[in-house]
């Protein structure tokens, strides 16, 4: 077959192949291309080993180098250039010729039918059945030839994965020649699914089945209720008649109702007004707490000092101590007024009352009563303004909301903090035994026999009056009149002129509540008893000027202290006419106070702005601390008070400023404990301590009773 | 002659007055009660001759407005004892001779 084919090809290619045509002769056509064909001729000889000769069509253009290099741009389009562009067809629907816009651009240049058959097609089935029938017979007959043929089959089929198997039902049935091979090889089987013949592997897997779970819940059924009734004509009728009656009665009453409504409205208005006024008071407590918190933050360092600071320098001093200034209490409206009285609240140790007024008798103005607390140094807790100067005050021990106040104009009053009003709950009037001169001191007493609250007052008019709070008013009883006996009797006129002694201060004995001491303006001290209104138990020629304060020792029942404007502080035994100690402070002494923690410690304030602290146990002659505490030199100190619990004192000056000071450790030093001995505390120890001191001073001839 | 006229007048008055609804028992909220009563009045006026259709209308409207399972009884004489969901019960008279009971219960 191949030789025939090659001749055929030669025949076919004679017209195309100049090389071969040359051999046969056709010289006229070839003469023009002689040069180029030379190479061809050489190549002709070596056809077998040089491969195919280069063939050129005879009508090929001869191009020069430059022409060959010239670039010719062509654009290939999908449009068929030979397709007609103006086809007109007859439209049977509209019965007119119409231009067809869409033209078939497809041009078929070459087509050839394949020799492949689809497996499912009828032809393929037919051929398959034919193969199977033939194969069976041949395999039986030609047993010897089988192996060879099988090899052949293997060669043809080795592209398949399952080469060892007999040829399967092929998807593609090739030429008939091949068909014959297949026929011989085999037993064609049923059609199988064709797999990827190049890269196939079979795998199996199963997903995990979640176990089934049951879940149930039940809601609470909506609430239900039962209702039963019977509807009948008479019941309905009754209901209607009742309703009608109601309507009629309503019509009769509209006027009355209107009046009531008005009343209600007015009531409502009243309540709204009340509630409005309460609006601020509702937040008052919270506001107060916040205010205190803010103050605590603002004065944090002072608060820390108050609680924890102990002057470390005291360790290096033997006796002297210092005062550490803490808070300053000031109030704008009380700036011009002098502090005339200070009293700690016995229940709340952080609260104290301060009375403001004026000691200048030419410039008497108003007075003020303020309550300061250590927890809020910036603003007073309670504020009361008075028309007259306050000169003294005292807080009741048992009922700390009651404050007795004495005024410059001679009246006394009792304020109740519980009441919201700005006026005193009790006020003495001129009709009922009011003092005619300034009240210098007031002091609460134990309840009297009728269980009425009562207090004493002393005034420049020489009277000492007991005031009892009976129901709504103050009932007064004159206890004693301070009269200077025998000095001034106008015998000529035979008139009994009584010259009164001006009382300026008093103090009641701690144990014997009948006995009390009175200090007067001319410097005398009288020991009096409530039982005898006419005369004194004793009189001390104490000072040369007015006695500003007199106080019993809180521990020792016989000892008291007095101070005066004559610059001196004196300590007395009430059985001895002469003072036990005399201290000259070089300035008018405004006030003196015993310390609550020691029988031998007291503090005095002077008008030159100094605080003098004495501890007789340490130094019998010199103060253990003298410190100027006022801001300006002009300011005078007027009063001093120890806090009953904390080691602090408050002092007031004549410019309305109250200072709080902490005592350094030296000022509150207790006797040192000897080894193996417990430090005794209590009043007995304090008394013994003071007695021990006094024994040194006392005149050995005069023995105490 | 005057007397019968007067009695007639009174009767008509009574009838006229007795057209308004009276709520005998209700535990509904005020808003719901007013709405339900209006509905009952319109239904009974619309189907004044047929209580059954009136009841049907009330029931269906109530089902739409307040959720399903409403029950309605409309009649001139009946007795009942029902279990109802709280806040969903109305028993009223209307027109002088009709009692209407509306309640909800699943």
Phi/psi of residue A371, each to 5°? -115, 115
Q: Determine, for residues B17 and A237 on separate chains, whether the beta-carbon distance falls below 8 Å.
A: no
- How many domains does chain A divide into? 1
Q: Which residues of B touch A225 (CB under 8 A)?
A: 27, 83-86, 89
In A, which residues are within 8 Å of B84 by CB distance?
224-227
What are the residues whose beta carbons fall under 8 Å from the beta carbon of A418, sequence distance 6 or more? A401
Nearest to A566 by CA among A554, A553, A582, A581: A582
Read out DSSP for A318-354?
A: SS---EEEEEEE--GGGTTSEEEEEEE-SS-TTEEEE
Determine, for residues B86 and A224 on separate chains, whether the beta-carbon distance falls below 8 Å.
yes
Could you tell me which residues come within 8 angstroms of residue A475 by beta carbon, excluding any fewer than 6 positions away? A432, A452, A467, A468
Q: Kindly list the distances between the CA atom of residue A517 and the CA atoms of A458, A480, A560, A566, A659, in Å, as whole numbers in the listed order.
A: 11, 12, 9, 19, 29
Q: Is residue A637 part of a domain?
A: yes
Nearest to B40 by CA among B57, B27, B26: B57
Q: State residue A267's pLDDT score.
A: 57
Check residue B71 and give its pLDDT: 94
Provide the token pair at A211: 């176990």
Range of the structural domain that residue A426 is part of: 316-485+498-670+681-698
Mean pLDDT over B44-71 rounds to 92
Q: How close A221 gets to chain B, by Cα (Å)? A: 9
How many CB atoms sit inside 10 A of residue A607's CB?
18
| Residue A475 falls in which region: left (phi positive, over 0), alpha (psi -120 to 50) or beta | beta
Contact A553, A561 (CB under 8 A): yes
Inspect the interface and report whether the beta carbons of A224 and B25 lie closer than 8 Å: no
- Residue B104 contacts residue A242 (beta carbons within 8 Å): no
Residues of B in contact with A240 (CB under 8 A): 14, 17-18, 22, 93, 96
Identify all chain A residues contacting B91, using CB atoms and an 8 Å cutoff.
Answer: 227, 229
- What is the pLDDT at residue B93? 92
Please enumerate in sequence order all residues whose Cβ is within 8 A of that of B41, keeping only pairs 6 or more positions apart, or say none.
Answer: B21, B94
Residues A240, B22: C-beta atoms closer than 8 Å: yes
| Per-run averaged pLDDT (10 residues), chain A, 705 residues | 42 42 44 45 48 76 84 80 82 88 80 82 86 62 43 45 44 46 51 73 86 90 90 90 88 65 58 55 84 88 85 77 85 85 88 88 83 87 87 89 88 86 80 82 84 86 85 81 60 57 84 84 85 80 87 87 89 86 87 87 88 85 84 81 88 88 81 53 74 70 45
Determine whether domain B20-104 maps to CATH 3.90.78.10. Answer: no
Task: Please say whether the beta carbons of A321 and A613 come within 8 A.
Answer: yes
B80:A230 CB<8 A: yes
Gap from A351 CA to chain B (nearest CA, Å): 58
pLDDT at B5 over 70: no
Chain A closest CA to B44's CA: distance in Å?
Answer: 16
E-state strands within A209-350: 224-231, 323-329, 338-344
| Alpha carbon A657 to chain centroid, angstroms | 36
Q: What's the gap in Å between the CA of A248 and the closest CA on chain B?
A: 12
CATH number of A641's domain = 2.130.10.10
Residue B25 C-alpha, separation from nearest chain A C-alpha, in angstroms: 9
Name the pTM for this structure: 0.52
Q: Which residues of chain A from 239 to 278 reach within 8 Å of chain B, CB to CB? A: 239-240, 243-244
How far apart, in whole angstroms, are the C-alpha atoms of residue B71 and residue B60? 9
Q: Which residue has the higher pLDDT, B66 or A698?
A: B66
Above pLDDT 90, what percent of chain B?
Answer: 68
- Residues of chain B found within 8 Å of residue A251, distances taken between Cβ atoms: none
Distance from the Cα of B50 to chain A's closest Cα (Å) equals: 17
Q: Is A224 on the interface with B (CB under 8 A)?
A: yes
What pLDDT is recorded for position A119?
81
**Residues A562, A542 contacting (CB under 8 angstroms):** yes
B 23-42 residues inside an 8 A Cβ radius of A? 24-25, 27
Can you give the pLDDT at residue B81?
A: 93
ipTM here: 0.83
Q: How far is A214 from chain B (nearest CA, A)?
A: 27
Number of alpha helices (DSSP H) and beta strands (DSSP E) in chain A? 13, 31
Cα–Cα dist A327/A379, whole Å: 12
Closest CA relative to residue A130, chosen from A91, A172, A184, A94: A184
Give the model's pLDDT for residue A171.
45
Considering only CB atoms, B81 lies closest to which of A222, A226, A237, namely A226
Of A226, A236, A243, the CB nearest to B97: A236
**Residue A606 is assigned to a structural domain of this protein:** yes
- Partner-chain residue, chosen from A225, A229, A236, that has the shortest CB–CB distance to B84: A225
| Residue contact B96–A222, C-beta within 8 A | no
Helix and strand element counts for chain B (H, E): 3, 5
Q: Does B4 touch chain A (CB under 8 A)?
A: no
**How distant is the Cα of A249 from the closest Cα of chain B, in angstroms?**
15
Q: Which residues of A touch B78 (CB under 8 A)?
A: 230-231
* CB pairs A-B closer than 8 Å: 75
Taking contacts as CB-CB distances below 8 angstroms, the residues of chain A near B77 are: 231-233
Does the CB of B78 have a partner CB in chain A at under 8 Å? Answer: yes
pLDDT at B78 over 90: yes
Is A227 in the B-facing interface, judged by CB distances under 8 Å? yes
Burial A352-375 (b: 16+ CB within 10 A, else e): bbbbbbbbeeeeeebbbbbbbbbb
Question: Are B78 and B100 within 8 A, CB to CB?
Answer: no
Between the CA of residue A360 and those of A336, A373, A389, A606, A636, what are the distances in Å? 12, 28, 10, 17, 13
Which residues of chain B are within 8 Å of residue A244 when distances are taken between CB atoms?
Answer: 14, 17
Q: Which of B14, B17, B89 sits opposite A227 (nearest CB)?
A: B89
Q: Is A224 close to B101, i.e. CB distance below 8 A?
A: no
Cβ <8 Å between A224 and B91: no
3-state secondary structure of A103: coil
């Amino acid at each position: 077959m191949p030789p025939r084919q090659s001749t055929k090809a030669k025949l076919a290619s004679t017209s195309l192949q100049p090389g071969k045509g040359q051999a046969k002769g056709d010289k006229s056509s070839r003469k023009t291309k002689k040069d180029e064909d030379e190479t061809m001729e050489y190549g002709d000889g070596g056809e077998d080993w040089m491969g195919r000769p280069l063939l050129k069509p005879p009508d090929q253009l001869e191009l020069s180098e430059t022409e060959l290099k010239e670039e010719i741009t062509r654009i290939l389009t999908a449009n068929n250039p030979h397709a007609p562009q103006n086809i007109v067809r007859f439209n049977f629907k509209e019965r007119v010729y119409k231009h067809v816009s869409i033209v078939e651009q497809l041009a078929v240049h070459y087509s050839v039918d394949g020799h492949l058959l689809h497996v499912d097609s009828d032809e393929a089935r037919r051929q398959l059945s034919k193969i199977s029938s033939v194969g069976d017979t041949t395999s039986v007959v030609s047993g010897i030839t089988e192996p060879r043929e099988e090899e052949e089959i293997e060669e043809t089929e080795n592209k398949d994965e399952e080469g060892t198997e007999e040829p399967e039902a092929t998807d593609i049935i090739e030429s008939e020649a091949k068909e014959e091979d297949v026929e011989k090889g085999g037993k064609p089987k049923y059609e199988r699914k064709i797999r990827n013949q190049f890269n196939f592997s079979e795998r199996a897997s199963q997903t995990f089945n979640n176990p089934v779970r049951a879940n149930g819940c039940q809601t609470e059924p909506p609430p239900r209720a039962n209702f039963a009734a019977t509807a009948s004509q008479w019941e309905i009728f009754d209901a209607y008649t009742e309703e009608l009656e109601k309507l009629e009665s309503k019509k009769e009453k509209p006027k009355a109702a209107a009046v009531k409504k008005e009343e209600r409205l007015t009531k409502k208005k009243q309540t709204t007004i009340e509630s409005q006024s309460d609006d601020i008071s509702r937040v008052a407590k919270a506001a107060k707490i916040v205010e205190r918190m803010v103050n605590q933050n603002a004065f944090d360092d002072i608060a820390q000092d108050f609680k924890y600071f102990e002057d470390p320098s005291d360790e290096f001093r033997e006796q002297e101590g210092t005062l550490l200034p803490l808070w300053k209490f000031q109030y704008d409206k009380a700036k011009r007024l002098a502090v005339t009285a200070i009293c700690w609240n016995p229940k709340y140790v952080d609260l104290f009352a301060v009375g403001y007024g004026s000691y200048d008798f030419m410039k008497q103005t108003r007075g003020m009563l303020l309550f300061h607390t250590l927890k809020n140094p910036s603003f007073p807790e309670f504020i009361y303004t008075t028309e007259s100067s306050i000169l003294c005050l005292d807080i009741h021990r048992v009922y700390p909301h009651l404050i007795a106040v004495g005024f410059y104009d001679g009246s006394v009053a009792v304020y109740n903090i519980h009441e919201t009003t700005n006026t005193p709950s009790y006020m003495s009037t001129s009709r009922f035994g009011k003092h005619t001169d300034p009240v210098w001191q007031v002091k609460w007493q134990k309840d009297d026999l009728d269980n009425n609250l009562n207090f004493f007052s002393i005034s420049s008019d020489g009277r000492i009056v007991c005031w009892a709070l009976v129901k709504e008013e103050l009932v007064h009883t004159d206890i004693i009149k301070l009269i200077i006996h025998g000095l001034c009797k106008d015998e000529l006129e035979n008139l009994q002129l009584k010259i009164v002694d001006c009382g300026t201060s008093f103090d009641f004995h701690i144990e014997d509540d009948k006995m009390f001491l009175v200090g007067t303006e001319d410097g005398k001290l009288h020991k009096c008893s409530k039982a005898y209104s006419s005369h004194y138990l004793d009189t001390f020629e104490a000072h040369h000027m007015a006695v500003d304060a007199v106080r019993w020792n809180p521990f020792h029942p016989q000892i008291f202290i007095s101070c005066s404007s004559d610059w001196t502080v004196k300590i007395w035994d009430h059985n001895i006419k002469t003072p036990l100690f005399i201290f000259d402070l070089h300035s008018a002494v405004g006030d003196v106070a015993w310390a609550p923690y020691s029988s031998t410690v007291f503090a005095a304030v002077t008008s030159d702005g100094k605080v003098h602290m004495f501890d007789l146990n340490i130094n019998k002659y010199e103060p253990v601390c003298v410190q100027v505490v006022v801001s300006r030199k002009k300011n005078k100190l007027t009063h001093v008070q120890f806090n009953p619990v904390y080691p602090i004192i408050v002092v007031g000056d004549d410019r309305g400023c109250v200072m709080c000071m902490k005592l350094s450790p030296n000022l509150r030093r207790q006797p040192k404990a000897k080894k193996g001995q417990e430090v005794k505390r209590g009043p007995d120890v304090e008394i013994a301590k003071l007695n021990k001191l006094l024994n040194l001073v006392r005149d050995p001839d005069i023995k105490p009773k | 002659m005057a007397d019968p006229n007067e009695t007639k007048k009174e009767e008509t008055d009574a009838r006229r007055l007795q057209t308004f609804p009276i709520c005998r028992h209700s535990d509904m909220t005020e808003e719901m009660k007013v709405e339900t009563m209006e509905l009952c009045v319109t239904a009974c006026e619309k189907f004044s001759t047929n209580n059954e259709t009136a009841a049907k209308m009330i029931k269906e409207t109530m089902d739409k407005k307040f959720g399903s399972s409403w029950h309605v009884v409309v009649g001139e004489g009946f007795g009942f004892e029902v279990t109802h969901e709280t806040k969903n019960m109305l028993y009223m008279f209307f027109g002088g001779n009709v009692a209407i009971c509306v309640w909800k219960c699943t």
